[in-house]
Each structure stands twice: as structure tokens, then as C-alpha cells.
Copies of this chain bind each other. A is one copy, B any other.
Amino acid sequence: MKKLLVGSIVMAFCSWQAAAQTYVLTDAENSVEKGNWQITSEGLKLKDANFSIEQKVLHGGKQEGSKVITITSKGLTIALSPTRGMDLLHVVGNNVRLGWDSPVKEVVNPQFINLESRNGVGWLEGFNEMMVRCGYEWTGHPVSSEGMLYTLHGRAGNTPASKVEIHVSEKAPYEITVRGLLEEKSFKKVNFETWTELRYIPGSDAFTIHDTLTNLADYAHDYQIIYHSNIGTPILEQGARFIAPYKEVTPFNEYAKKGMKEWQNYAGPTKDFDEMVFNIKPLADSQGKSLAAVINRAGDKGASIEFDTHQLPLLTMWKNTDTLKQGYVTGIEPGTNYAYPVTIEREQGRVKQLQPGQSTVFSLTYTLLGDAQAVQKTEQRIKQIQGDIKPVISETPIAKE
């Protein structure tokens, strides 16, 4: 073992891997924090492998103390932040980028964010991720109900991980798993733990998010989640398309109604466009799997997200094709819910519940489509799931905010 490998190295025989080395970067229970840290496949003497995993503590402005973990490989480079709910910052590789250019540049430490500010949209002051977990206590637009302010998109994305572990499989292809524990705990109110996982096989063009939410309380508790996954240039451009197999689509509000005819087609950066949101009921294959993708104009770049409709039955498409400086971006957002305030979601019967001790899993696979062939394969799969089913395109929003 090289000296590089300081810290807790455990030979773990985990249920999901025959054998793996485990590196504990953060552990609140034992008061562990590695800070700046790195391993490389070379240092680990892994044959025919070529990757590194690094944790870096950031400095300056509102990102003081924020941490970023970056996996670098011949395939993808994946960056996520333990300080911000294990959210994905950006993914690059295979000629493609997942991510976007938000006006917010720093990886903002939640210590500097008041989620209640601006009437419940303080969340926007840290929003620049490629994927944010919007949950798990609630999700969606903010609303005041019985004096309580349900802030935009919940709190998981602004929760620093209580435990962070990295597993590297000892056998080729050396699957890497980054695990993070998010605690949403408040005496009397909530006792949620979410073990987040990012699973990546170095060199491949896809990765999986595999999260397990558990209600540790002795009482049932509502939960909601939207996996807010955001894509900008170079995939998003004038003429880019959104594709997904679906039963029905409805506009989120009166403004989105105006965009129904062209809802699957993207404009270039457009002043005063602001945002349109579309609520989708996805179709799935016989296993319950569905997927959605954004494809560039030429059809040779794209990104797809596969998700399980048993876990995440609904899909939101967020079309934010405003100017580049405002944050030109689209969101593919599989979820248990639409983005309406929790009060509306509850009224309309979409809020789910976990029984005492019950766990539930959310699994999503993101694929970076780097050439025309990969794009076509994805299009075919979507067509196959759609089959002969003619989707309903409704013009009437199902709710009024």
C-alpha cells in the first residue's frame, strides 16, 4: 500500500461488490474529515486502469469550505459536491457535456444560503448543478401553508453529507462507487436518511445514480423527489429535440400553453423566453423502465436518462431557453411529483408516503451519447416503448399555482 493511501482503508465484503476497497472521506459519527485527498489507479496498482479520484476543499466567497469530488477517467470526468447534497456539478466526456452555465458560478456552501429568502426561493442562489436532488421532505415550487414556508425544491440539495465513502472494486473493470449519507432530521418533524450512490465503471459512457431513502421514524411520512437534471450547450441548441415515450403531456401553466405545439423542439437562446414547463406521463417497457433524452440538431450528440417508473412515475421537462447569460438550459426531471407546490401535489393525490422503517430506492442511468449511432439507438428504444400508443397532448394545465 502506498503512502498516498492515508486514512481508513477497509477491506469490505459488501453486498453489492465481491470485494472492494473502501475509503472513508467524511464520517460525522466518528468525526472524520479527510479534506484534500486523492487516489489514482496507478497508486492502487490496478492493472490496465486509468483513473483518479480526488476530493478538494474549495475557497473564496460563498464556496468557502465546500468540497468537490472529481472522478477523472479515460471515459468521463464526473464532479459532485458532498457539501451540496452529493449533487452532480458536471460530467464531461464522449464529446459531450452534461451541465450548463448558470449565472451562479461558485459551489455555494449551504452555510451562506437562506432557503427562505426571496419568499422561499433562496435555493436559486446556489443553483448551478447538472443534477440536484429536489426532496425528500417536499419538492416543487414554494408555498406557505399553515404558517410554514415550504421552500423551493426542498432541502436535500443544500444538505452536507454526514458520511462520504468511496469504494473501488478490486476486480476489473474496477467499478467506482461514491456513497454519501444525507440526513434530513428534526426532532418531531422528520427522520429521513438517504444513502446516495454514484456508480461508474471507469472508461464507460454512462453512470448510475442509486439512492435509498429510509424513513427512520416510527410514524409514516410523506416524501417527494424530483431528480432535476440539467443540460445546456453543446447538446442544447436551436433545433435540439426532447424525446421520450409518453402517454400524455400537459402545460405546467398558462404561459407553457403557448408552447405546446413546439414543446419537444428547442429554440436557441431567446431573450424574454424565460421558462416553459411541461408535465409528462411517461410510458415504460415491460420492466417499468422509461427514458428521456435531449438530442442536438445534427443528431450526433445527446444525453439520455433511464429511470424506473415504479420509483419515479412522472416526468417534468423544463425548457429554459432564455439567453446564454441567463442560463440557457433544459431540465429532464424524473420524479414522484410534478413541480407544483406540495399543497397542490397533495390535493391531487401525487404525494407518496413511507411507512415507519420503510426504504425506497431511486435508480437512474445517465448516458452521454457521443455520436449519431448512440443517438439513433436511443431514438429507436424510445420508439419501441412508444409503440402504437398515441400520446394525448392536452392544452389545459392540470393545476393553477
Instruction: Give the docked Cα–Cα distance between A56 and B32 (Å).
Output: 12
- A186-198 vs B, CB cutoff 8 Å, 1 = contact: the mask equals 1111010000000
Using A160-B62, A323-B218, A326-B188 as known contacts, say yes or no to A117 and B115 having CB atoms under 8 A apart: yes
Within 8 A of B (CB), among A123-168: 124-125, 127-128, 144, 146-149, 159-163
Is there an interface contact between A124 and B60, defined as CB atoms closer than 8 Å? no
- A46-59 vs B, CB cutoff 8 Å, 1 = contact: the mask equals 00000000001011
Q: Smallest Cβ distance from A332 to chain B, in angstroms?
A: 18
Within 8 A of B (CB), among A33-69: 33, 56, 58-65
User: Could you say which of A28, A29, A33, A147 has the most chain B C-beta atoms within 10 Å of its C-beta?
Assistant: A28
**Would you mind naming 30 contact pairs between A and B with Cβ atoms under 8 Å apart?**
A26-B60, A26-B61, A28-B59, A28-B60, A28-B62, A28-B63, A28-B105, A29-B105, A31-B59, A32-B59, A32-B60, A33-B60, A61-B160, A61-B163, A62-B183, A102-B187, A103-B185, A104-B187, A105-B185, A106-B162, A118-B186, A119-B148, A124-B187, A127-B187, A144-B147, A188-B327, A216-B325, A218-B271, A218-B322, A218-B326
Counting CB contacts under 8 A, is A114 at the interface? Answer: yes
Instruction: Give the docked Cα–Cα distance between A117 and B113 (Å).
Output: 13
User: Could you say which of A110, A125, A188, A191 has the most chain B C-beta atoms within 10 Å of its C-beta?
Assistant: A188
Is there an interface contact between A56 and B31, defined as CB atoms closer than 8 Å? yes
Is there an interface contact between B114 and A111, defined as CB atoms closer than 8 Å? no
Is there an interface contact between A28 and B217, defined as CB atoms closer than 8 Å? no
Instruction: Give the docked Cα–Cα distance between A60 and B29 (Å).
Output: 8
Instruction: Give the docked Cα–Cα distance between A356 and B323 (Å).
Output: 12
Counting CB contacts under 8 A, is A255 at the interface? Answer: no
Counting CB contacts under 8 A, is A13 at the interface? Answer: no
Binding site for B on A (CB under 8 A): 26-29, 31-33, 56, 58-65, 102-106, 110-112, 114-119, 121, 124-125, 127-128, 144, 146-149, 159-163, 181, 183, 185-189, 191, 216-219, 271, 322-323, 325-327, 356
The interface residues of chain B lying within 8 Å CB-to-CB of A115 are 114, 117
The interface residues of chain B lying within 8 Å CB-to-CB of A119 are 146-149
Name the one of B103, B146, B187 contacting A103, with C-beta atoms under 8 angstroms: B187
The interface residues of chain B lying within 8 Å CB-to-CB of A60 are 26-29, 31-33, 161-163
Q: Is the interface of A mostly helix, strand, loop or mixed?
A: loop
Q: Smallest Cβ distance from A134 to chain B, in angstroms?
A: 14
Q: Which residue on chain B has the smallest CB distance to residue A323? A: B218
Is there an interface contact between B59 and A103, defined as CB atoms closer than 8 Å? no
The interface residues of chain B lying within 8 Å CB-to-CB of A188 are 124, 326-327
Is there an interface contact between A186 and B104, defined as CB atoms closer than 8 Å? yes
Q: Smallest Cβ distance from A52 to chain B, in angstroms?
A: 18
The interface residues of chain B lying within 8 Å CB-to-CB of A26 are 59-61
Instruction: Give the docked Cα–Cα distance between A125 and B58 (Å).
Output: 26
Is there an interface contact between B219 and A326, defined as CB atoms closer than 8 Å? yes
The interface residues of chain B lying within 8 Å CB-to-CB of A61 are 26, 28, 159-163, 181, 183
The interface residues of chain B lying within 8 Å CB-to-CB of A147 are 119, 144
Instruction: Give the docked Cα–Cα distance between A33 and B56 (Å).
Output: 13
Q: Smallest Cβ distance from A276 to chain B, in angstroms?
A: 14
Using A32-B60, A60-B162, A160-B61 as known contacts, say yes or no to A217 and B103 having CB atoms under 8 A apart: yes
Is there an interface contact between B160 and A103, defined as CB atoms closer than 8 Å? no
Q: Which residue on chain B has the smallest CB distance to residue A329? A: B187
